[in-house]
Structure 1
Amino acid sequence: MATETPEKDSNRKLLVVGLIIVLLSINGILIYMQQQKSQENEEQKEIIKVKNTELENQIKVYETLKADYERQSSELSAMGLTNDSLETRIAAINADLAQLRSFRNSSFTVADQRRFQQRAQNLELALRKKDEEVAKLQENNEELFTEVKGLKTTQNKLSDSITSLATNNKELEEKINLASKLDAQNISVTIINTKGKEKEDEEEEYKAKQVDRIKLTFRLGKNEVAPKENKEILMRLIEPDGSALYNLATGSGTFEFEGKEQFYTAKRDIIFDNTQQQVSFIYSKGTPFKTGKHLIEIYSDGFLIGTTSFMLK
């Protein structure tokens, strides 16, 4: 067996060394590439993490914007106002929020980020401008409320004054009406028989069957307060049984006294002239009078101004 020469042994060693160097270089390259891949993965993870953070921050910005716009809408509603453009913005924010939330399951690019940031800035600018308008409206409303409150206070005071004045006027009117009440004086009743002869009942009782008519005479007392004007004088002739004689054919009617409807027997219209003028009624019943005490009441302007009575047997 031949022995290797020193030259061949040296070449073999060089080849082995070279192979080892190549293997070490390849291994180094593989290690470097692996490190680069790991670094890229970490960078990609960091980019995704940053994008997710930016996405969540953007969602929070839009949620805040939505809450602020809804607050504005409530403030306007409280003042009785509506704003269609405001409702349109709220609807747009809701649509943007829905799209942003959909990016959680898809890619949220830098372009998307910039686009939504710009939209948010525009919405915030419009929000601040609208807040200034709402604040001005609220200030004006407060001033108007103060003015209205002052007007209501003045109105209430005026109403109280008017009520007080009306009460005083009513009381004064009642006093004037009472003071202007007419007074029937020197009242006398004359009985006219079937032959036309007159006889005052004070002399003696007259037989009822002989009475044809009743004549009532009186004077109106002087009254400086009562106006000189047309006056309506009513006469009630009340029979012994308490019923007032009433006949539409002879001019009878009804009137109100102390809240109750009453019958009157006859009526006269006169012009009161404050001269103690005489007023008379002549009444024919048309049927025989009843025996007993008859009562006569005289009314004017809602007042009982005189009474008298006579007897028939």
Structure 2
Amino acid sequence: MATETTEKDSNRKLLVVGLIIVLLSINGILIYMQQQKTRENEEQQEIIKVKSTELENQIKVYEALKADYERQSEELRSMGLSNDSLQTRIAAITADLNQLRSFRNSSFTLADQQRFKQQAENLRLALQRKDEEMAKLQDANEELFSEVTGLKTTQNRLSDSINKITSTNQELEQKVALASKLEAQNIQVTIINSRGKEKEDSDEEYKAKRVDKIKVAFKLGKNEVAPKGSKEIMMRLIEPDGSALYNLATGSGTFDYEGKEQFYTAKRDIVFDNTQQQVSFIYSKGAPYKQGKHTIELYSDGYLIGTSSFTLK
């Protein structure tokens, strides 16, 4: 009996020990599986973190590329150039940026990473080549600008020289014109009555009411500078009240003197031959003359060439 009881106790102990061993094994397996799961979760989190960092880096790269391409476009515009393909590329970069940002809410795979990295590298190389082209173009523009500036400076100097020469020529022309001015010399005023008898204005007893015509005679002084040829000589007969006698029916008209329009009483067309030739005007007013001092003014080529006066009582 005692032996049988001892054997039962021994079997019970073995069973308990076996159960403990099984429980410990299960617990160990559970612990191991939990550790594996934790490790896998940590690795997954690390992968997600790496992908997120890579995504944000790619977004920054594309933002920088877009800014550089927009800078290129602005530089071209400032140089007066345009590039439609550059605008197309900027639009493509904008579309890529929008796609990259959409990956924040979805999976950003390794294939996506590789694709966008390669595209960014291609864009960077194209940007670099374009910058080099623009640098060469800018250098060429600066060289051309320097040449144009030099030409403008030369042109300005030539213009200044031409202006000086023109001014000098104008001064010379004015001096020649002044030197070639005719001169009416020995001006004599004669009174002609209704019977055709002439009296010089020195005859003080001559009355205004007896005047029928006025004769003005003079000679043209010698002038070696004045060119020979046709000349117009205008006479102004100015009455005591300061107004010039003017009658279209008797050949009066207007001329320009010192920028102002003047009335002339009579005009003669002559051929100047530089022989001190005599010239005369005979003017009939067709109405009674006024009492007082009358003035005679003679003009030619825009110059006053002689004056005289006479008095009627």
**Which TM-score applies when normalising by structure 2?**
0.95
Q: State the shift of 1:289 in Å.
A: 1.2
1:46 corresponding residue in structure 2: 46
Residue 124 of structure 2 aligns to which amino acid in structure 1?
E
- The 5-angstrom pairing of residues 70-109 of structure 1 reads 70-109=70-109
Please state whether the residue corresponding to 2:26 is helix, strand or coil: helix
Tell me the distance in 2 between the aligned counterparts of 1:183 and 1:59.
96
Tell me the distance in 1 between the aligned counterparts of 2:126 and 2:47.
32
Tell me the distance in 1 between the aligned counterparts of 2:227 and 2:205.
40
Deviation digits for residues 33-80 of structure 1, max 9, x if unmatched?
111111100100100010011011101111111111111112112112
Q: State the shift of 1:244 in Å.
A: 0.7
Deviation digits for residues 174-214 of structure 1, max 9, x if unmatched?
11111001000121112221112222223444222221111
C-alpha contact 1:240 1:291 (8 A) present in aligned 2: yes
Please state whether the residue corresponding to 1:158 is helix, strand or coil: helix
Q: State the shift of 1:257 in Å.
A: 1.8
Residue 150 of structure 2 aligns to which amino acid in structure 1?
G
Please state whether the residue corresponding to 1:141 is helix, strand or coil: helix
Q: State the shift of 1:19 in Å.
A: 2.7
Could you list the runs of 5+ residues in structure 1 that have no partner in the other structure?
Answer: none
- The 5-angstrom pairing of residues 227-306 of structure 1 reads 227-306=227-306
- The 5-angstrom pairing of residues 143-292 of structure 1 reads 143-292=143-292
Tell me the distance in 1 between the aligned counterparts of 2:177 and 2:290.
37
Tell me the distance in 2 between the aligned counterparts of 1:231 and 1:166.
27
Tell me the distance in 2 between the aligned counterparts of 1:229 and 1:65.
84
- The 5-angstrom pairing of residues 24-63 of structure 1 reads 24-63=24-63
Please state whether the residue corresponding to 1:4 is helix, strand or coil: helix
Aligned pair count reads: 313
Q: State the shift of 1:102 in Å.
A: 1.7
Larger mean CA deviation between 39-48 and 140-149 belongs to: 140-149
Q: State the shift of 1:266 in Å.
A: 0.4
Q: State the shift of 1:6 in Å.
A: 5.0
Tell me the distance in 2 between the aligned counterparts of 1:239 and 1:124.
96
Q: State the shift of 1:16 in Å.
A: 3.1
Tell me the distance in 2 between the aligned counterparts of 1:31 and 1:292.
146
Tell me the distance in 2 between the aligned counterparts of 1:75 and 1:83.
11
Identity %: 80
C-alpha contact 1:73 1:86 (8 A) present in aligned 2: yes
**Which TM-score applies when normalising by structure 1?**
0.95
C-alpha contact 1:206 1:311 (8 A) present in aligned 2: no
Residue 17 of structure 2 aligns to which amino acid in structure 1?
V
Residue 94 of structure 1 aligns to which amino acid in structure 2?
T
Larger mean CA deviation between 299-308 and 25-34 belongs to: 25-34
Residue 134 of structure 1 aligns to which amino acid in structure 2?
M
Tell me the distance in 2 between the aligned counterparts of 1:24 and 1:298.
146
Please state whether the residue corresponding to 2:212 is helix, strand or coil: strand
Q: State the shift of 1:279 in Å.
A: 1.0
Q: State the shift of 1:254 in Å.
A: 1.4
Residue 43 of structure 1 aligns to which amino acid in structure 2?
E
Tell me the distance in 2 between the aligned counterparts of 1:34 and 1:246.
132
Q: State the shift of 1:142 in Å.
A: 0.6
Please state whether the residue corresponding to 1:30 is helix, strand or coil: helix
Tell me the distance in 2 between the aligned counterparts of 1:29 and 1:245.
142
Please state whether the residue corresponding to 2:124 is helix, strand or coil: helix
What do you get for the CA RMSD once the two structures are aligned? 1.7
Q: State the shift of 1:311 in Å.
A: 2.1
Could you list the runs of 5+ residues in structure 2 that have no partner in the other structure?
Answer: none
